[in-house]
Amino acid sequence: MPREVKELGCKIVHLLQNPKDLAVSLYNHTLGIHLFEYHGKWEHFLPLFLQGKTECNSWFDYVLSWEQVISDNPGFPIHLIYFEDLKQNTLHELYRLGQFLSIEDQDGLFGDIAKKYQFSNMVRDKQQHNGTESEFIRDGFSFFREGKQ
């Protein structure tokens, strides 16, 4: 953790995703983005992910380092959200986040955010802003996947 973050007492929102889901998402992104230059199969990608040899390095080292930060700094304002919990119960997680950030649900703010967070709405909104990114991504690739094969 940067020294300044600790000195200023910044609040940290830490979002974690299940490593199985993350590996599948990373694999699809690695296939879909020209920059990665990867054309291999899942069965070749998974060992690379498990060994920390992918673009995101080691998920396991990353999580362990954050666990150490939390352990070394008891009481420091770090709010942990699991992506799967956010997906399953969006409004509840937004209320928890709002409480952590001292944000009130004025005029249905959290409900509005939850609606924007719905998968179909994110895809629709993204399509409205498509532009020059086509030179960076392969045909048929989408940044948004529902996590289903």
First to last CA, the chain: 37
- Please enumerate in sequence order all residues whose Cβ is within 8 A of that of 46, keeping only pairs 6 or more positions apart, or say none: 23, 27
- Residue 117: CATH number of its domain: 3.40.50.300
As a whole-number percent, the residues of the chain with pLDDT over 70 amount to: 83
Cα torsion 91, 29, 35, 49: sign: positive
Is residue 36 pLDDT above 90, yes or no? Answer: no
Cα torsion 43, 53, 29, 65: sign: positive
Q: Residue 58 is part of which domain span?
A: 3-135
The domain total for the chain is: 1
pLDDT tens, position by position, 51-103: 888 877 788 888 899 999 899 988 899 999 998 899 899 999 999 999 999 99
Residue 148 in domain:
no
Residue 103 in domain:
yes
- Picking from 44-48, 79-83, 138-142, which range would have the lowest pLDDT averaged per residue? 138-142
Residue 74 in domain:
yes
Task: Report the mean per-residue pLDDT for the chain.
Answer: 83
The per-residue pLDDT for 81 is 95
Residue 115 in domain:
yes
Tokens of 134: 């086509």
Is residue 144 pLDDT above 80, yes or no? Answer: no
Residue 145 in domain:
no
Is residue 149 pLDDT above 90, yes or no? Answer: no
Beta pairing partners, 78:
12
pTM, entire model: 0.73
The per-residue pLDDT for 14 is 93
Beta strands in the chain (DSSP E): 12-16, 78-82
**CA 36, CA 38: separation in Å to the nearest integer?**
5
Residue 146 in domain:
no
